[in-house]
């Protein structure tokens, strides 16, 4: 069983955080160290450590991450100009908290993500 993370405590509101969205599957809140004008984290309420740990039974949860991202982008006024969704996996992918989470970033031009050659 995966160990609890800071996100588990945010979901349960044991750490005071303004929630932008919460239902039985996912929770969303602003990143404490934003990398763009809009930077929201959308997390499953179920603790899934990495993308590698997603099971077929988690497909509804994973789909909800995207529908909530779409809703929040519209509410934040960034849907029309565009935004980026990022999910990191493990150390080389830049994952810091081992409770999968989607970053919704936008509100400004973001440029290229990677310079692939």
For 61, other C-beta atoms within 10 Å of its C-beta total 19
Q: Is 101 in the active site?
A: yes
The first and second tokens of residue 58, run together, are 């988690």
Query: Catalytic pick from 39, 99, 101, 103?
Result: 101
The strand pair at 102-106 and 26-30 is best described as unpaired
* Distance set, CA 115 to CA 32, 88, 92, 110 (Å): 27, 17, 17, 13
The strand pair at 83-86 and 26-30 is best described as unpaired
Active site residues: 101
């Amino acid at each position: 069983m995966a160990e609890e993370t800071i996100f588990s405590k945010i979901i349960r509101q044991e750490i005071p955080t303004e929630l932008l969205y919460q239902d039985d599957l996912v929770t969303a809140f602003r990143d404490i160290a934003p990398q763009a004008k809009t930077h929201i984290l959308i997390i499953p309420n179920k603790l899934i450590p990495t993308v590698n740990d997603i099971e077929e039974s988690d497909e509804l949860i994973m789909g909800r991450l995207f529908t909530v991202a779409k809703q929040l982008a519209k509410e934040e006024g960034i849907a029309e100009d565009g935004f980026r969704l990022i999910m990191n996996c493990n150390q080389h992918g830049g994952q810091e908290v081992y409770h999968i989470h989607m970053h919704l970033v936008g509100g400004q031009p973001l440029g290229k993500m990677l310079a692939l050659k």
